[in-house]
Amino acid sequence: MTVQSQASNPGHICIIMDGNGRWARQRLMPRSFGHRQGVDATRRCVEFFAGAGVDYLTLFAFSSENWKRPEEEVSNLMELFIRSLQRYTDELHEKGLRIRFIGNRDRFADKLRQQIEQTELKTVDNRGMTLIIAANYGGHWDIVNAARELATRVQDGEISIAQIDDRQFASGLALGEVPSPDLFIRTGGEQRISNFLLWQLAYTEFYFCDCLWPDFDDREMQLALDEYHRRQRRYGKTGDQVEVPPGC
């Protein structure tokens, strides 16, 4: 499928990859089967958006609330996480992708933390698309961490309270140096952001689709891009103010 011209595509896309469990249930299979199929969808997604010229792709792999799921499912997810990193890190590295992780790693087993660190280190100098994986991440956690960092800087005399502004606060977030997402996608039919990038999504375009994540293929991705291109991003201005004059 032909992708929109790279120059006009969003620079940063973030995705909640929802629907693995329901996809499996529809086929009378265990939820773990759906999660494994979801890995294949993730590979397609990374390849498609890298080819579309996207600079940053942030994927919500595991939220801080997902620990509430059944213990067996969480254990399977952690094992799948490790196996996927072991299997695909070299492939992504060869394609020039940089891989980063955001979220609280303290709760992960040593084996997973070590694999995350190895993957980040191996790809740190790559200059292709940056793939950001949010694992044990929550927007509330992110904002509280940024507030703590600012409080420490004030306490240490680095900055004054009067110097705290949007830019200073954003610098303490997990994606402090990354541009805010242009396009947010959620598969699976739900229409909420589920504690994902709460600060960063202030002016992001939202796209919700009923497609379950394992079925999110090139056609579905192109539909998301097509919808993005139909939007007019105004950032508080009027439509007339952001219209591009004919001939420009």
What are 136-171's pLDDT values in tens digits?
Answer: 999 999 999 999 999 999 999 999 999 999 999 999
Element (H, E) at 122: helix 110-123
Task: Give residue 248's pLDDT.
Answer: 45
Instruction: Verify whether residue 145 is a known catalytic residue.
Output: no
What is the pTM for the complete model shown?
0.91
Tokens 């610098």 belong to 171
Task: Give the pair of three-digit tokens for residue 234.
Answer: 């105004």
**Set 9, 18, 20, 142: catalytic member:** 18
Residue ranges covered by each domain of the chain = 10-138+181-230
- What are the pLDDT digits (tens) for 152-161? 999 999 999 9
**Set 40, 55, 66, 218: catalytic member:** 66
Residues 6+ apart with CB under 8 A from 222: 1, 3, 4
CA triple 187-188-194, angle to 5 deg: 75
Instruction: Verify whether residue 18 is a known catalytic residue.
Output: yes
- Dihedral of CA atoms 80, 34, 131, 11 in degrees, nearest 10, equals -170
- What are the pLDDT digits (tens) for 41-97? 999 999 999 999 999 999 999 999 999 999 999 999 999 999 999 999 999 999 999
Task: Give residue 233's pLDDT.
Answer: 76
Q: CATH classification of 10-138+181-230, choosing from 3.40.1180.10, 3.20.20.70, 3.40.630.30, 3.40.50.300? A: 3.40.1180.10
Task: Give residue 232's pLDDT.
Answer: 81
